[in-house]
Amino acid sequence: MSTAIERIGTTPRMSKIVRHAGIVYLCGQTAVGASTPDIAAQTTEALARVDALLTEAGSSRARILSAIIHLKDIAQFGEMNTVWEAWLPPGAAPARTTVQASLAAADLLFEVTVTAAVD
């Protein structure tokens, strides 16, 4: 296994993907431009972006090791979980933390950061 660190989609501020020692780290994913005020739609859109990045990195949602979820309003926890649980493959629930937090833009309701094993 290589000990090299590979950075993909890098800007001066961050990388979208960092791969090292069989693990892939994704930057936080949100709905693009927060196109909807609905937590379910924002969660669905952000998780689709996670899928795309995991595929690019050589992994998948079934290989997620941990997830950190930030919600603008913790009262939307149940609605978000409905989408999350439908998205996860059976038996592939990662270690997870969910917190209420101020997000980078006022219209964002959901952000997720995942770490996954490479396929």
pLDDT digits (tens, 9 = 90+) for 4-32: 999 999 999 999 999 999 999 999 999 98
Expressed as residue numbers, the domain containing 11 is: 5-117
Mean pLDDT value of segment 82-102: 97
Overall number of domains in the chain: 1
| CATH code of the domain covering residue 40 | 3.30.1330.40
Q: What is the pLDDT of residues 93-103, one digit of tens each?
A: 999 999 999 99
pTM over 0.85: yes
Task: Give CA–CA dist 19/23, Å, rounded.
Answer: 6
Question: Could you tell me how many residues make up the chain?
Answer: 119
Would you say residue 73 has pLDDT above 70?
yes
Distances (CA, A) of 115 to 36, 37, 43, 105, 106: 26, 27, 17, 23, 26
pLDDT digits (tens, 9 = 90+) for 50-69: 999 999 999 999 999 999 99
Residue 75 CA from chain centroid, whole number: 20
Beta bridge partners of 25: 18, 115
